[in-house]
Amino acid sequence: MTAPQVWRRAIAKVNRGSPFPLGATVEPEGVNFVVYSRHAHEVELCLFDDVDDTKPARVIKLDPRRHRTYHYWHAWIKYIEPGQVYGYRMLGPNNPEAGLRFDPDKVLLDPYGRSVAVPAAYSREAATAPGANDAEAMKSVVVDVDQYDWEGDEPLRRPFSETVIYELHVRGFTRHPSSGVRRRSKGGRRNDRRGSFAGLIEKIPYLQDLGVTAVELLPVFQFDRRHAPDGLSDYWGYGPVSFFAPHADYGWRRDPVGPLDEFRHMVKALHRAGIEVILDVVYNHTAEGGEGGPTISFRGLDNRTYYMLEDGGSRYANYSGTGNTLNANQPIVRRLILDSLRYWVEEMHVDGFRFDLASILSRDQSGRPVPNPPVLLDIETDPVLAGTKLIAEAWDAAGLYQVGDFVGDSWKEWNGKFRDDVRGFLRGDKGSVPRIAERILGSPALYGGGEREPERSVNFVTCHDGFTLNDLVTFNRKHNQANLEGGRDGSDDNRSWNCGVEGPTDHPHIEGLRNRQVKNFLTMTLLSVGTPMLLMGDEMRRTQHGNNNAWSQDNELSWLDWSLLEDHADVHRFVKQLIEVRQHFDSVRFDHGLTLNQLIRQARIRLHGVRMEAPDLSFDSHTLAVSAVNRSNGLRMHFLLNGYTEPLTFELPGLPAGAQPWRRVVDTSLASPEDVVDPADAPFVSELGYPTPHKTVVVLFATDPGD
């Protein structure tokens, strides 16, 4: 007898249930269902035999006199088991002018559902148009999250000072035919793991060998991939419909619990390899969009609770640029966000979170920025999240920019100023030298106050949003025709430089300069003070052919072409060796427990120009030299940055009597393998000056006698 047959026989056994915990909780002999709605008059729990069914096998009406406590609707049903497909219908006032958008025909996802099943006939249009959408609606699935053997696994808790982040897209990382990920089992049964959590597991040895210590995954919460123009799809995943369920398409097994287990297999495998898992999370908006959007979950459950509304409730606030904004500082939504974060730490063992458009979370229910946002303080002070990595994208789409000023003590920040200023310096912008000095030293004007650590700044020059590193040195302008938005999408402020020719070229001089610029960017990212982040494929010069907003391109434009690893083996080797250099010289840059200002004082950092003790910080300057001496161990480093269009010779600092000469560990103008070498094998530099070709970064080191 199947599970549905069992509960049909005994379905009369519907008890009152408990208002806690929220969601569908598996208990002995049954399941407790709970959903929040303040403004609904009636609630129907719909039980389906299969996600593709055209109507529920059973509809259980929740009597508010028996099944409602405060604004929580609940019921306990005997014989329900894991694997049960379900959804809600909410009956209440439909008054859009007042922000009430109940539609009794729509099947709704459980906001606390741990798994989501997507029918073959799924349709956003059916969720938007009048009428029932039983067969076309995504549905929640009952799962027992305790039924998993973690084999002693725990989050790694690696300090930020030892962290190198690699931002990747789960599907794009292994979906390309060149990935080498398995496609068929020995018996010939279809077994395509490309583009899945399981596919990523197969590439863990590559990540280990590269030397990164954390992967930052683009959104893996269930999202609506059809939230995109016709013929395209939401590839990035920034259109969530659930904050608890892993995205079903990232599981290669076609069952509702498969993605849940496969995500946990992936986390466990990455941890065994010493690699942390950071999730890019979207708590600022959902895929339900604006006034004309579909009713998938929150809109139909209690629109006035979950979203920021304007004009008496008739219009959605839009600080996200995607049609709606979650009401993150409303108490129920705050609880939802906290419960979601706890779940991913406690039950899914993730190590951290990067918060998309995090500044939205600092806005109150009227949209005004507040100095002590409740939800952000809740996150920082929550004991379950203590020790979890918290990274903010400290801006939003409505102009709020909080880089260097994000709330709290534990938050780290994507340093957008680092990205912009390093790009500007290497492009040759005038007036960029004073800013580049700031960025190399950890942005002390931004992060030097109080007790902030050197690692407060997450340093990056590329991420999923914008040009890849290859395209940054290949295109002067975006080429977004494939997005079908008439070129209106994507930033026009890329600060890129094509090195003389727009697009790919076989010209050896231009290609050589581009390769050098790529290495310049990588050196400044990995060796500046802060926590470095690399973009998937930059280590092999992945291209998107000038598209700087590939959010809707689930195709080879976005997927990582692994054949590039052979084509650009020198860049891959450069990144790998540079990470090793970073680890070798960690002591001069990151003394644990020091604040940024303490580090700068202890390391005795000085600025220079082509001549020692004479930094040129003028508007027309394009050169900088930085020396650092660690007083505790005598390790000395000297950085030479020639952003000028001509070669220059930089004077070198004198060394103590008896010390060996300077040794060259990085010179981006040299061919591989001389461009970066193991410090133990680094050649000596005996001259008093170092000739530095145009657009070149050089790193030298020395040790005091006796060290």
DSSP secondary structure code for residue 20 in this structure: -
Torsion 285-288-292-298 (CA) sign: negative
Based on the residue annotation, tell me whether 506 is a catalytic residue of this protein.
no
Structure tokens at 116: 């989501």
SS3 content of the chain, % helix, strand, coil (to 5): 30, 20, 50
Structure tokens at 431: 């007036």
Rounded Cα distance between 243 and 231, Å, is 26
Nearest partner of 276 among 167, 180, 195, judged by Cα: 167
What is the distance of C-alpha 100 from the center of its chain? 33
| Active-site residue, selected from the candidate residues 110, 288, 339, 393 | 393
Locus of tokens 């291209």: 543
Beta bridge partners of 42: 91
Rounded Cα distance between 608 and 617, Å, is 9
Contact 267, 350 (CB under 8 A): yes
| Active-site residue, selected from the candidate residues 42, 44, 167, 356 | 356
Strands 139-141 and 165-168: unpaired
Torsion 130-132-138-143 (CA) sign: positive
How far apart, in Å, are the Cα atoms of 560 and each of 176, 187, 473, 483?
Answer: 6, 28, 18, 19
Name every residue whose Cβ is closer than 8 Å to that of residue 136 and which is 6 or more positions away in sequence: 119, 121, 122, 123, 126, 127
Rounded Cα distance between 625 and 639, Å, is 5
Beta bridge partners of 184: 190
Based on the residue annotation, tell me whether 393 is a catalytic residue of this protein.
yes
Active site positions, annotated: 356, 393
